[in-house]
């Protein structure tokens, strides 16, 4: 049995207008991997390949030790999947859906399902068509959570939810981590959620992985340096600095590979470092994408 | 292999379309009731409604069972279940056939029983009756085959249009056939060679369409 | 045990630092006593709805600073270190002084003037305390 929950090795898929290229991914058991990237970057395609719903053109995919898509049936017994474009049957009730899932999966946890109904503020007798968007998302997640699957694969689980609903969902997702044999991979536009609960972060843009590493290490690599540059002094181009914006005597440098001696390097040229700030994942997201687009244009 | 999940899916489809089936059964039964009323007009109207009920059923089932699941994006929910694309395709074919054949079978038996029990209706119309029962079956197979194979609303609607617009023409040619309309008033059912040929052709059409559909379905590897 | 931990979104500091500070606060005020068993890394992560890796980092740093001790398979507990309270306050003072210097810099106040301001503030506080004493009498 592999010690990785998810393994992608050189995975590629070509579509008429989009190519997924050389995807390498490693998610160990017991961890949460957050997948972020702009729209159309390839997050959903990656997730579909992960679930065996789409066959890759090249490369190997293993989920819970099983090759995908060849062994997808065996894998899906242990995977809970919920995506943003997933819809339940409008004319049926939540209770009907719960019974349906329960009739298929042996490890349905009925008491936990009842608890989730209460926590999510849902009533089992309600028909899906009478639910708001947020309630539908929570109902779909309930069906997936109550099975206690070893791997949760979620495409935009908190998108479109109000703050309270988001909080409820995040609470249940992190609670999954009590069991160190269980793992989660989720994609999200909500960088705050990704920043808060992910152990690992993978950044996708235009079909390629730009970054994939542990969250703490990743956040540590990014800094914003505010500089005061006296007239006549040109700021040097330092390795690890991906952008410098200067306006008069004030400049802001963005580092994606921060090293403490950067401050010294600047100060030795006569510039003064006013402050070194950490960046939120959202700020990193924007800086990263802008930088990667610039590089593409330049190349 | 994985038959339990396939069974669950088929039962799910039955549960989802319960109302549809009941309504079509009701429509069929009501039209049969009309046949009880004395008079040729009532008999004619009742018969026409009866067949329309069967035809509508034949068009509705593939669309609501096959096409809508894709349109309404329920597919992602099903794809996450422990089944393969092939197993899904097979369960779909099985449930689609069942959802039509059950009401069709019930109504055909009901109509046959009714006609055979009535003393004042010449048994000579029985062969024609069976030929006419077979037509919505062939039409359904065409539409269902299109829906299952193409998975597209466009092709399914095209098949619906083709089959529906053919009924009138086919009825016309069958009724005009002297081998058939000659024996209508006979007190005994006459199974002449032309009649048997037509029945055989209907059976062949059903077998061909379903066989082709099964073959194409068995080649399906991807959900999307 | 960890119900009053709150991660602030407006606090610009990384989450692991906030966790470290709140643990140190509990130790400083005496809510968490020496040798007391504290929530496991996973448990705290679940309670705070943050990633395990973040809590792990906080615990590692705290262990490095000698605030807590983690044993394989036995969980974590508050370390037994006398003078811990003083050390925490020392660190806080250092932080405040650095911040004061930084702010003064932004305002363009020179270090000499900053010293004067500090003395003024200290004198003012002394006056207030003596007034209070006076009122008591």
Question: What is the pLDDT, as a whole number, of residue C86?
Answer: 58
Give B-chain residues touching A96 at CB under 8 angstroms.
15
Residue C83 has pLDDT above 50, yes or no: no
Give A-chain residues touching B7 at CB under 8 angstroms.
none
Which candidate, B58, B73, B156, places its Cα nearest to that of B108?
B58
**Closest Cα in chain C to A198:** C51
Question: B94 CA to chain A: closest CA distance, Å?
Answer: 19
- Asked if A73's CB is within 8 angstroms of B76's CB, the reply is no
At C82, the pLDDT band (50, 70, 90 cuts) reads very low
Give A-chain residues touching C49 at CB under 8 angstroms.
167, 170-171, 174, 196-197
Q: Which residues pair with A205 in a beta bridge?
A: A208
Query: Does C74 contact A at CB distance below 8 Å?
Result: no
- Asked if A104's CB is within 8 angstroms of B82's CB, the reply is yes
pLDDT tens for B185-212 read 788 888 888 889 999 999 999 999 999 9
Q: Chains near B, with 3+ CB pairs < 8 A? A: A
Among B5, B72, B76, the residue with its CB nearest the CB of A104 is B5
Give C-chain residues touching A214 at CB under 8 angstroms.
53
Question: What is the pLDDT, as a whole number, of residue C32?
Answer: 87
pLDDT tens for A253-295 read 999 999 988 888 998 888 899 999 999 999 999 999 999 888 8
- Asked if C51's CB is within 8 angstroms of A199's CB, the reply is yes
Element (H, E) at A285: helix A281-298
Q: Which residues pair with A6 in a beta bridge?
A: A27, A63
Q: How far apart are CA C34 and CA C66, in angstroms?
A: 12
- Order of strands, edge to edge, in the sheet holding A223-228? A241-247, A250-255, A223-228, A272-278
Question: What is the pLDDT, as a whole number, of residue B184?
Answer: 79
Interface test with A, best of C46, C49, C75 (most A CBs within 10 A): C49
Please report, for residues A82, A127, B11, B106, B111, the alpha-carbon distance to residue A104 in angstroms, rounded to integers and kept in the order given. 17, 21, 12, 31, 39
Give B-chain residues touching A53 at CB under 8 angstroms.
79, 222-224
Among B2, B87, B222, the residue with its CB nearest the CB of A55 is B222
At C135, the pLDDT band (50, 70, 90 cuts) reads low
What mean pLDDT is predicted for residues A120-144? 95
Among A55, A74, A87, the residue with its CB nearest the CB of B72 is A87
What mean pLDDT is predicted for residues A26-52? 94
- Asked if A174's CB is within 8 angstroms of C50's CB, the reply is yes
**Closest Cα in chain B to A92:** B16
Question: What is the pLDDT, as a whole number, of residue A153?
Answer: 97
Residue C93 has pLDDT above 80, yes or no: yes
What mean pLDDT is predicted for residues C123-134? 79
- Looking from the CA of B43 toward its CB, the CA atoms found within 13 Å total 9
Residue A299 has pLDDT above 80, yes or no: no
Q: How far apart are CA B214 and CA B207, in angstroms?
A: 10
The pTM score is: 0.85
Q: How far apart are CA A74 and CA A53, in angstroms?
A: 13
- Asked if A54's CB is within 8 angstroms of B77's CB, the reply is no
Q: Chains near A, with 3+ CB pairs < 8 A? A: B, C
Interface test with B, best of A45, A66, A83 (most B CBs within 10 A): A83
pLDDT tens for A136-148 read 999 999 999 999 9
**Where does residue A185 fall: left (phi above 0), alpha (psi -120 to 50 degrees), or beta otherwise?**
beta
CB B59 within 8 A of CB B143: yes
Q: How far apart are CA B65 and CA B98, in angstroms?
A: 11
Give A-chain residues touching C13 at CB under 8 angstroms.
278
Please report, for residues A225, A289, B123, C51, the alpha-carbon distance to residue A211 in angstroms, rounded to integers and kept in the order given. 22, 11, 80, 19
Q: Which residues pair with A8 in a beta bridge?
A: A25, A61
Chains C and A touch (3+ CB pairs under 8 A): yes
Question: What is the pLDDT, as a whole number, of residue A187?
Answer: 96
Longest alpha-carbon distance in chain C:
59
Question: In chain B, which residues have pLDDT < 70?
Answer: 1, 223-224
Query: Does C15 contact A at CB distance below 8 Å?
Result: yes
ipTM: 0.87
Give A-chain residues touching B79 at CB under 8 angstroms.
51, 53, 81
At C136, the pLDDT band (50, 70, 90 cuts) reads low
DSSP per-residue string spanning A74-103: HHHTSEEEE-TT----TTSBHHHHHHHHHH
Annotated domain spans of chain A: 4-218, 223-278
Interface test with A, best of C51, C54, C98 (most A CBs within 10 A): C51
- Asked if A76's CB is within 8 angstroms of B73's CB, the reply is no
Residue A29 has pLDDT above 90, yes or no: yes
Burial string for C108-122 (b: 16+ CB within 10 Å, else e) reads eeeeeebeeeeeeee
Question: C7 CA to chain A: closest CA distance, Å?
Answer: 10
Among A48, A54, A87, the residue with its CB nearest the CB of B74 is A87
Query: In CATH terms, is domain A4-218 a member of 3.40.50.300?
Result: yes
Give A-chain residues touching B74 at CB under 8 angstroms.
87-89
Residue A162 has pLDDT above 60, yes or no: yes
pLDDT tens for A97-111 read 999 999 999 999 999
Question: B4 CA to chain A: closest CA distance, Å?
Answer: 8
């Amino acid at each position: 049995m592999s010690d990785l929950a998810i393994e992608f090795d050189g995975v590629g898929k070509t579509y008429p207008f989009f190519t997924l290229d050389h995807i390498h991914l490693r998610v160990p058991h017991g961890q949460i991997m957050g997948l972020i990237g702009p729209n159309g970057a390839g997050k959903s395609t990656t997730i579909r390949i992960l679930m065996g719903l789409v066959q890759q053109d090249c490369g190997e995919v293993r989920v819970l030790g099983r090759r995908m898509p060849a062994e997808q049936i065996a894998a899906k017994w242990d995977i809970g999947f919920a995506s943003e474009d997933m819809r339940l049957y409008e004319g049926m009730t939540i209770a009907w859906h719960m019974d349906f899932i329960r009739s298929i999966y042996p490890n349905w946890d009925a008491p936990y399902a009842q608890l989730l109904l209460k926590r999510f503020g849902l009533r089992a007798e309600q028909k899906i068509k009478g639910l708001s968007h947020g309630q539908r998302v929570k109902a779909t997640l309930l069906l997936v959570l109550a099975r206690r699957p070893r791997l949760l694969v979620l495409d935009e689980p908190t998108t479109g939810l109000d703050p309270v609903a988001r909080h409820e969902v995040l609470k249940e997702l992190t609670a999954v981590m009590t069991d160190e044999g269980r793992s989660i991979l989720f994609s999200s536009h909500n960088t705050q959620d990704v920043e808060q609960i992910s152990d690992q972060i993978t950044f996708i843009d235009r079909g390629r992985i730009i970054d994939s590493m542990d969250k703490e290490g990743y956040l540590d690599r990014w800094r914003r340096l505010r500089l005061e540059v006296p007239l006549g002094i040109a700021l040097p181009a330092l390795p690890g600095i991906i952008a410098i914006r200067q306006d008069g005597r004030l400049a802001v440098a963005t580092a994606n590979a921060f090293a403490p001696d950067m401050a010294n390097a600047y100060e030795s040229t006569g510039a003064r470092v006013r402050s070194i700030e950490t960046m939120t994942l959202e700020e990193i997201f924007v800086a990263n994408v802008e930088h990667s687009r610039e590089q593409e244009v330049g190349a | 292999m994985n038959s339990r999940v396939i069974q669950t899916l088929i039962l799910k489809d039955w549960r989802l379309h319960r109302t549809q089936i009941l309504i079509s059964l009701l429509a069929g039964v009501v039209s049969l009731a009309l046949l009880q009323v004395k008079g040729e007009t009532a008999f004619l109207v009742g018969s026409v409604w009866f067949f329309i009920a069967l035809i509508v059923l034949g068009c509705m089932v593939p669309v609501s069972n096959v096409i809508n699941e894709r349109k309404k994006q329920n597919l992602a929910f099903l794809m996450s279940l422990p089944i393969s694309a092939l197993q899904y395709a097979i369960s779909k074919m099985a449930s689609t056939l069942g959802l039509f054949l059950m009401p069709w079978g019930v109504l055909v038996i009901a109509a046959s029983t009714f006609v055979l029990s009535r003393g004042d209706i010449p048994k000579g119309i029985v062969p024609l009756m069976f030929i006419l029962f077979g037509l919505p079956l062939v039409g359904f197979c065409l539409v269902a085959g299109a829906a299952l194979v193409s998975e597209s609303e466009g092709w399914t609607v095209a098949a619906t249009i083709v089959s529906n617009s053919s009924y009138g023409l086919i009825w016309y040619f069958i009724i005009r056939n002297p081998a058939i309309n000659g024996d209508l008033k006979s007190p005994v059912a006459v199974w002449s060679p032309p009649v048997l040929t037509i029945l055989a052709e209907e059976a062949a059409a059903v077998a061909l369409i379903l066989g082709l559909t099964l073959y194409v379905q068995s080649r399906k590897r991807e959900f999307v | 045990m960890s119900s009053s931990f709150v991660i602030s979104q407006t606090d610009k500091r990384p989450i692991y630092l906030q966790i470290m500070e709140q643990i140190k606060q509990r130790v400083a005020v005496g809510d968490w006593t020496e040798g007391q068993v504290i929530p496991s890394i996973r448990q705290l992560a679940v309670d705070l709805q943050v990633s395990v890796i973040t809590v792990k980092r906080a615990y590692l740093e705290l262990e490095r600073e000698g605030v807590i001790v983690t044993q394989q398979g036995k969980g974590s507990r508050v370390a037994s270190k006398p003078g811990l309270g003083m050390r925490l306050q020392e660190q806080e003072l250092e932080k405040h002084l650095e911040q004061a210097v930084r702010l003064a810099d932004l305002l363009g106040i020179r270090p000499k003037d900053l010293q004067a301001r500090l003395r003024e503030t200290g004198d003012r506080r002394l006056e207030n305390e003596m007034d209070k004493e006076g009122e008591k009498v």
